[in-house]
Homo-oligomer: A and B are copies of this chain.
Amino acid sequence: MGIRVGVIGLGNMGADHTRTLHRFVSGATVTRVADINAERAAEIAAEIPTASIAPDGQTLIEDPDVDAVVIASHDATHAPLTLACLEASKPVLCEKPLAPTLESAAEVVAHENGRGLISLGFMRRFDPGYVELKAGIENPLVVHTRSRGVRSGPGADSATSITGSAIHDFDTIAWLLDSPITEVSWHAGKQSSHVNGLNDPQLMLVRTEDGVLSTVETYLNARFGYDIRCEVVCETHVVRLAEPVRTVVDAARQQSTRYAPDWRPRFADAYRLQLQAWVDAVAAGEPSPLANAHDGLVASAVADAAVASMQSGGDFVHVETLRSM
């Protein structure tokens, strides 16, 4: 039955992971699921004949029928559950963020102690578009990213937009360029009248160690659809993501293609390939090819610097903790 996986947290993301593991990942069996909502746990378990319900995350992690753990529960639980996985010496794929603060993230990294047990869910690294984009880069000079969504989640503010959404672009920029982000400057102009308590859109300038200057636009309430763009300006060419569309329609005076309503259909392939790569590495006892704890720590440090820039009124803020990590 291959790798026996337990999934903690069965919200939209966790349920998707569970189904993907069950239906589309070779060499994995979901044996346990857990959710603080017992009804939800029962509902998902009913879909997955191989899976039974664990009473809580801690119990799931310690279960001898669980070889590896996926954490998709509330952000606040990520650090303690990841620590429990480390305690149990079990590989864990944790959705970002690894921890609520840089300090606690660093603490988790310290506990990992180089064992390579932690993988972070920066799934864009497995999106076939991003993979082809990275392969097409030569002598990069500028990266432009655009992340537009339909609607921000409840309680979103400018800071959580950065730590929850822009953080994906921070990770991809560093990953695409193979160079860590060293400083970031935050800006906002006119705001959407559809939102309150949130700068939306936000615009950031990001500098990486290789000197490349990048722009990051995050617009969570763009309404029209979920649209992720990334363009890399190189010395003598430009390469960008194509829109991942399957059909084109002529109707009502328009030629059109469709946008996904949210990130899950857009990145379904990326999630599947990320899970497959993770399961393969666990099965082979090889290092995980996913983003690791250090990547998560660095991305969080960039997000913190962006928030600090926002609070300072737009100055470039150094990613201070980078060297020490």
Residue of B nearest to A272 (CB): B24
Given A141-B201, A259-B255; A246-B191 close (CB under 8 Å): no
CB distance from A196 to the nearest CB of B (A): 14
CB distance from A229 to the nearest CB of B (A): 10
Residue A212, interface by CB 8 Å:
yes
Residues of chain A from 21 to 62 with CB closer than 8 A to chain B in the complex: 22-26, 28
We find that the number of chain A residues with CB closer than 8 angstroms to chain B is: 75
CB <8 Å contact, B253 and A255: no
CB <8 Å contact, B239 and A249: yes
Residue A247, interface by CB 8 Å:
yes
Contacts of A142 in B (CB 8 A): 189-190, 201, 203, 217, 219
Given A141-B191, A211-B189, A235-B223; A247-B129 close (CB under 8 Å): yes
Residues of chain A from 185 to 200 with CB closer than 8 A to chain B in the complex: 187-194
Q: Which of A140, A212, A253 has the most CB of B within 10 A?
A: A253
Identify which of A79-87, A94-102, A131-139, A285-293 touches chain B: A131-139
* Interface bits A278-320 vs B (CB < 8 Å: 1, else 0): 0010000000000000000000000000000000001010000
Residue A66, interface by CB 8 Å:
no
CB <8 Å contact, A190 and B249: no
Given A26-B24, A235-B193; A203-B215 close (CB under 8 Å): yes
Given A217-B142, A222-B233; A247-B251 close (CB under 8 Å): no
Contacts of A212 in B (CB 8 A): 189-190
Residue A210, interface by CB 8 Å:
yes
Residue A254, interface by CB 8 Å:
yes
Residue A106, interface by CB 8 Å:
no
Given A190-B141, A213-B190, A238-B224; A259-B249 close (CB under 8 Å): no
* Interface bits A200-231 vs B (CB < 8 Å: 1, else 0): 01010101001111110101001111010000
